[in-house]
A and B are shown apart, each in its own frame.
Chain A
Amino acid sequence: MNKYIIKGIILIMCIFLGILIPYQIRNNVEDNSFVSLSTIKEKQNDVDKIKKEIIDIKKLTKEQEKKFQKLEDVNDTREMIEVLEKDIEKYKTLSGFNDLEGPGIVLTVQDSDKEYIYGESDSSGIVHDADIQNILNDLKVAGAEAISISGQRVILNSPVKCGGPVIRVNNKNLIAPFVIRAIGDSKKLYAAIDAPGAYGRYLNDSRDLKLEIKEKSRIVVPRYSNTLEINYMKLVEEGE
């Protein structure tokens, strides 16, 4: 009889323990939840991004402080006009509304000489908009300061899109060969196109497109030929 009582107690203890353990685990879940690796990566990117932005903003503030001090010294209208005109020139140059000159490269991209076989669907021998987009991006990575394609200045809202046999840049139809001029450190720009693994090299070697690069000590990149029109965006009002 005694034996049965002991066994009964053990049974009750076991049941009690069984209830207690999952309860405990559930309680802990909130504090110790799991997140996926990609969430961590995302957060890490955000942190790195903001750190760099803070450095940028500090620099920008310093520059604007200088400008403010300059404005404080301005006494008459003539000086004010001078300051403003200088500023306009600066932003015009940055956004592509001035003709620029400097050292750089001239890159000619031409369709492949491969003969077209009737009925084939292989279009790898033709220069596509994506090819030009990639080359432009590579040039920007290498620090290109001004780029033009066959005389059309590439500015920040220049689309580069295919349209049948032509590529449209700034709403002008361009036909191969495409002559890309880029101002910057000519050695770096050259490498951005021709280095092993670069997109330009791939076009030349794997796609048989004809690429020709020349380093020049002085090239001219024309200004954006349309006028600046702003229809949709406006300044953010203060006090929001």
Chain B
Amino acid sequence: MKNIASKTLIVAVCVLLGIIISIQYKTVNDVVGPDSIPSQKNKELVNELARLEEEKEGLMNELTNLENKIKKYESEASKESDYIKELSEELEKYRMFSGYEEVEGPGVEIVINEPEINDEYAHSSSIVENYDYLLDIISYLNVTGSEAISINDLRYTSYSEMLIAGEHINFNNKPIGAPIKIKAIGPSDDIESALRISGGIINLMESYGFQIEIKKHDKLTIPRYTEIKELKYAKPISDDEE
């Protein structure tokens, strides 16, 4: 009789232990998410990223130094002649506009986060598959007179394209993905109200579960375009021929 009692007790304890372990497992899953992986790979990437960022900064400094030297030549020359001064100012204007200078000014920052994985939105929850939303946002920004735009710190230029490549978008030939950060220099009040127009793009995206944040800044810095663009097919029409 005593034997049976102790055995039952052990069974009861085992059942309790089983329940506790499964509860614990479920809680961890809920907190961390279902498709989690140990952080070791993440750490490696973070380290690599830090190293590369340092390298990029060094190279960028080198480039800026070089360009400052070039500008010094130009400004010295412009002391001698007003025409040269005019020319170098014009050059600066076109370089800023076409994206070859880092610029600053008032503007807005838009941060787009993908909806949390959820059956309700499962169909169209990825910004990568819906990159035409980004094309539309850019159009909205341009309508309101933005002067410089960057997406995830890549300058938007006349030649910027978006192409789905697997699980990310190629923008300026470089991979970008969520979260998307769009910066635009221009009249920030106008831009915000244009984007927020009811039935507009932000409305539409929010209805699909995207989390969008629009912040106005007095001073935003937008990086320069880093590619060399050369036209292979198009040639200027010279006025002499006509």
* A→B interface (CB under 8 Å): 32-54, 56-61, 63-65, 67-68, 71-72, 74, 77, 80-81, 84-85, 87-89, 91-104, 129-130, 133-134, 137, 140-141, 145-146, 154-161, 168, 183-185, 220-221, 228, 230-236, 238
Say which size band chain B's interface belongs to: 35 or more
Contact B97 A64 (CB under 8 A): no
* B121 in contact (CB, < 8 A): no
Closest-CB distance, B93 to chain A (whole angstroms): 6
Contact A47 B147 (CB under 8 A): no
A/B interface sample: 16 pairs, CB < 8 A: A41-B167, A54-B55, A54-B59, A59-B228, A74-B73, A81-B81, A84-B87, A101-B234, A102-B233, A130-B135, A133-B139, A145-B231, A145-B233, A156-B157, A159-B142, A232-B186
Residues of A within 8 A of B228 (CB): 56, 59-60, 63
Q: Given A40-B42, A68-B70, A91-B98, do A81 and B84 touch, yes or no (CB 8 Å)? A: yes
Residues of A within 8 A of B156 (CB): 156
Report which of B161, B162, B229, B235 forms a contact with A94, defined as CB distance below 8 A.
Answer: B229
5 A-B pairs with least C-beta separation: A159-B142, A95-B98, A140-B161, A91-B94, A34-B36
Q: Which secondary structure characterizes the binding site on chain B?
A: mixed
Residue of B nearest to A199 (CB): B132
Residue of A nearest to B103 (CB): A233
Residue of B nearest to A52 (CB): B174
Q: Which secondary structure characterizes the binding site on chain A?
A: helix
Residue from A43, A51, A137, A156 having most chain B Cβ neighbours under 10 A? A156
* B18 in contact (CB, < 8 A): no
* B30 in contact (CB, < 8 A): no
Residues of B within 8 A of A42 (CB): 177-179
Given pairs A156-B98, A235-B101, 16 additional interface contacts (CB within 8 A): A33-B39, A34-B32, A34-B33, A37-B35, A50-B52, A53-B56, A74-B77, A84-B84, A89-B236, A91-B94, A91-B98, A92-B94, A100-B231, A104-B233, A156-B97, A235-B102
